[in-house]
Amino acid sequence: MTNIRWGLIGASTIAREWVIGAIRDAGGEVVSVMSSSADRAKAYAAENGIPRAFDSLDALLADSEVDAVYISTTNELHRDQTIAAARAGKHVLAEKPLALTLDDAIAMRDACAAAGVVMATNHHLRNAGTHRAIRQAIKDGLIGRPLAARVFHAVYLPPHLQGWRITNPRAGGGVVLDIAVHDADTLRFDLDDEPVEVAALVQSSGMASEGLEDAVMTTVRFASGLIAQTHDAFTAKFAGTGLEVHGTEGSLIARDCMTQKPIGSVVLRNADGERELEVDRENLYVRALRAFHAAVRGEGQPAATADDGIRSLAFGLAVLEAARTGRTVKLG
């Protein structure tokens, strides 16, 4: 197989802004797009140089020239679309959150495994040079034993995205399933550790409606005993993003690192003073697509697997339960 040929399920913003370009830069081809509206599919295809447009999932999946699908519809649709794609023999890159329940996410993974197709979750942040540098620094022992981590991921939801995320619970709106799941994946990757218990408070400050939260703070215990804090919001215009890990022998202080762009810095602070770590600047999505293409060829794993998506969803659901009940929630 040379060029991997992609069908897009969902005429989405994320595909337009990042993933179509990443597929192409990683050596793949985008051959079709499907929208629930025929007009939108046609317009989207024309704008993005995509040869074929469909308004039905079955039609896109029946195309024998599609090897893989990228699913970036709203969250309640990911499950059925993934299972249908797997049954049609297509490899699947699915957006996060994978689904709205753990059983659904597990059914997606199992359908792909049964069909023998690759399934990946589009957790982009673990592809960032900053996070790879943090993970390596910890593995190299540069901060001793990690004891605590803090994630600053409170951002402002841009006006063009102020739709279903803040108005539609049935589509899986709310900041927890949108952003906190990325924190879980990033911490799991950076620390090579698993969250085991979480407490949370949510806020609905007026941007989100219909009972949805537009900010959340969590406190998390990891299997190693490390404790972490996370802060996610749609409402913080000037906060900036960051991640810190504090260990027995040093601290890693990363800034501008919870973002889609290949930017940001990581500083190591210890008894010798401070030094900035070298950080790779490859586009996060291109790196993910390169790994996906390799996995389709039988070379290694995607950057974030279906299981990674299941784990981050488990975290998000535990955060929502903790916030709803006012209790700490254990993760299995």
Candidates 29, 43, 52, 74; binder of ligand NDP (CB under 6 A) is 74
Cβ 285 to ligand NDP shortest distance, Å: 7
Cβ 15 to ligand NDP shortest distance, Å: 7
Q: Is 167 a residue that touches ligand NDP (CB under 6 A)?
A: no
Candidates 4, 5, 7, 11; binder of ligand NDP (CB under 6 A) is 11
Q: Is 183 a residue that touches ligand NDP (CB under 6 A)?
A: no
Maximum CA extent, the chain: 62
Candidates 32, 81, 82, 122; binder of ligand NDP (CB under 6 A) is 122
Q: Is 12 a residue that touches ligand NDP (CB under 6 A)?
A: yes
Candidates 67, 104, 178, 190; binder of ligand NDP (CB under 6 A) is 178
Nearer to ligand NDP, 224 or 305 (CB): 305
Q: Which of residues 28-57 bind ligand NDP (CB under 6 A)?
A: 35-37, 40
Question: Rounded CA gap, 201 and 212, in Å?
Answer: 13
Q: Is 101 a residue that touches ligand NDP (CB under 6 A)?
A: no
Nearest to 258 by CA among 275, 233, 241: 241
Cβ 75 to ligand NDP shortest distance, Å: 5
Candidates 48, 260, 265, 328; binder of ligand NDP (CB under 6 A) is 260
Q: Which of residues 133-162 bind ligand NDP (CB under 6 A)?
A: 161
Q: Is 95 a residue that touches ligand NDP (CB under 6 A)?
A: yes
Nearer to ligand NDP, 35 or 251 (CB): 35
Q: Which of residues 289-328 bind ligand NDP (CB under 6 A)?
A: none
Q: Is 124 a residue that touches ligand NDP (CB under 6 A)?
A: yes
Contact residues for ligand NDP, defined by CB under 6 A: 10-14, 35-37, 40, 72-75, 95-96, 122, 124, 161, 163, 178, 260
